[in-house]
Structure 1
């Protein structure tokens, strides 16, 4: 396991925050932070759930991703 410096951590949080705001429905920000299981869950819910629910699940995941992105930036 590597030890990250303070600037590397803040750069990852900045990237994750922006990705959460713009691509949050697909869980890309989770992959950047290393939360692979959570990222896969968000991706599957967005894609498969979006088809089954006519896009409602994707919309919900978008809102969740946007909220998480804002949290990462603050």
Structure 2
């Protein structure tokens, strides 16, 4: 991916990491020019947001710190890795789940 594509899509890519609202804003920002860099990070951000919400819904039933703290750490590490990857201009999927997000949301471009 060339540097011009990365520079044009960087704002949309970073915006996507603002939980679920940012994903929808980034999708609308990327709707006209279909930047590949932005699309990659929008898929990552959507996957992370849905993972956060679904794990939160499941784990909230237990009301136990031994269960909820690892979930928060897991999501925080993945989110930090992904947003710093977008800021640096890298196209690296999130560890463990990034490739799954790319396959599951391949229709989002």
TM-score (norm 1): 0.49
TM-score (norm 2): 0.39
Task: Kindly name which structure, 1 or 2, has the bigger radius of gyration based on alpha carbons.
Answer: 2
Structure with more helix by fraction: 1
